Amino acid sequence: MNTEKNGPVAEVENLTVRFGSTVAVDQASFVVEQGEVYALLGRNGSGKSTSIRCLLGQLKPTIGKVAIFGRGSWADRRVIMDRVGVAPEVSDVPPEMTALQVSRFAAPLYQRWDHQAFVDRLDRFGVDPQRRFSRLSKGQRKQVGLALALSSAPDLVILDDPTLGLDPVARKALFDELIGELAERGTTVLLTTHDLAGIEGVATRVGVIRQGRMVVDQDLEGLKAGFRKVRFPQTEDVKAPQVPGILCSSANNGMVEVIVPNFDDQAEMAFREVAGDRLEISGLSLEEIFIAVCNGADGGAS
């Protein structure tokens, strides 16, 4: 894939978006490099979709730089979008059109549109391409959306919560299709999702946006390697040490549980000084990390 000046595929720098007195995104920055699967995570209303809309040139930033392939998303949207496949959270396909009709409508708009690839994907999903969109299930509509996003052979695919409302079988089919596309073409992907268990096996980099601000921007392996859950018996003579960055602490069934980002040998030594061999240390899933970051102290995982 050729990006402008061999730079990032997508770049958000100090993005701020205001709607009147409301700040939807506050100085957010992240970069999506070629070949990455970047998962942008956050609770509802955190600013994820607003950031995506700015990247797609659908919304003009109040402040900041937003670019795809080195071109400004707002000014050069028409040029950029030929190389971008998009599956929005809510499809804008006219309800009376069939999937085949939508594909034929889209074909003249993209230089590399592959109608047969679109039909083949629907066949793998088990979706009737001649059924009206309004008569498809919610899951089938999502699958049609993914097929449309991939059929232009895009260099960048942007998916907004692609598994929302899908049952486990449909979610697996969608991720299998996406993984197959990545393996075949090395496509770059930016997606938002609440399906943290599903994306954990796909994402290479993770960003977490909280109340409009980026609080995590790190490769997934490094993120998981740095976070630890520390447990030890709750007694009067054992108290958690003052280790920097602790996100949250709780006590259940006689055990204290602490979530620590950037856990290192020094942090382990501090906990062992107070808990000794009663200390338990374990890793966290992406979902556990996400919950800790969104519920923990401000800046604890930055």
Query: Model pTM?
Result: 0.88
For the chain, first and last CA: distance in Å? 31
**pLDDT tens digit sequence for 204-257:** 999 999 999 999 999 999 999 999 999 888 776 656 667 777 887 777 777 888
Strand partners, 19: 22
Token pair, residue 276, equals: 């000794």
Which homologous superfamily does the CATH classification assign to the domain defined by 4-221? Answer: P-loop containing nucleotide triphosphate hydrolases (3.40.50.300)
**pLDDT tens digit sequence for 130-183:** 999 999 998 899 999 999 999 999 999 999 998 887 888 888 888 888 888 887
Q: CATH 3.40.50.300 in the chain, residues?
A: 4-221
Task: Please name the residue ranges forming H helices in the chain.
Answer: 48-55, 77-80, 99-106, 115-125, 138-150, 168-185, 196-200, 220-226, 265-275, 286-295
Interhelix angle 115-125/168-185, nearest 10 degrees? 150
Give how far Cα 180 sits from Cα of 172, 184, 199, Å: 12, 6, 14
Token pair, residue 202, equals: 């796909």
Q: 3-state class of 125 per DSSP?
A: helix
**pLDDT tens digit sequence for 14-66:** 999 999 999 999 999 999 999 999 999 999 999 999 999 999 999 999 999 99
Give how far Cα 32 sits from Cα of 67, 118, 222, Å: 10, 26, 16
